Chains A and B, each alone.
Chain A
């Protein structure tokens, strides 16, 4: 079984401030972890992914996330928020095992950037 918890359905930051979006997961097998961004009226876009290589993953638009197994976390960060970062962000855990595949999404975090 697997699950994803995103703490904070809404997060507000000032432009230029640090962005921190939290994601905790549980999985009975080694997971692949993803962060997706969704802009209004658009589908999900991949921000970054962890696939058991480096624990610090860099993605697009200056975002990065660190996989911490001991904390079962995969928090998303960006040093300086930009107005264009305002969107909804989804954390997802995917398990691939032979012919078995399962994706579990968090409930999403809406990021508001205040000028």
Chain B
């Protein structure tokens, strides 16, 4: 089946630094990628939707200058957390959506645990 990978799986960074998370669709081309974050014991929260070659659409309350999303190709989207703060510590998950004959299919990455110290 289709696989979505995320790298790194865990990252620890210091406050004020930036960290980049990659989301790749390994054996298919994704028309759309979604980025979510999940706090402990909470549900996923959609951060943004990105389509290849166009600017990401951010959900209300998500700072686009802080969470930079680049969808450079049909197999790669990156989320960069700029000037990270401890409150940005969270679990970030991406998903990739592909169009098929019978409709769309969606696959989820394994997530990236970000800890900001």
Contacts and interface: CB of A to CB of B under 8 A. Distances in A.
Interface stretch (B18-26, B37-45, B74-82): B37-45
A110 B105 CA distance: 10
Contact of B38 (A38, A51, A90, A101): A101
B41 A46 contact: no
B28 interface: no
Interface string A48-90: 0101000000000000000000000000000000000000101
Interface in B20-69: 32, 34, 36, 38, 40-41, 43-44, 46, 49, 59
A103 B40 CA distance: 11
Contacts, number: 51
A49 B43 contact: yes
A38 B105 CA distance: 11
B44 A36 contact: yes
Interface residues of A, number: 25
A103 B110 CA distance: 7
B93 A103 contact: yes
Interface of A: 32, 34, 36, 38, 40-46, 49, 51, 88, 90, 92, 94, 96, 99, 101-103, 105, 108, 110
What are the 7 tightest A-B residue pairs by CB atom distance, in nearest-first order? A43-B46, A46-B43, A43-B34, A101-B91, A105-B108, A96-B40, A34-B43
Given A44-B44, A108-B106, 6 more contacts: A34-B44, A36-B43, A41-B32, A42-B49, A46-B43, A90-B106
Interface of B: 32, 34, 36, 38, 40-41, 43-44, 46, 49, 59, 91, 93, 95, 103-106, 108, 110-111, 113, 115
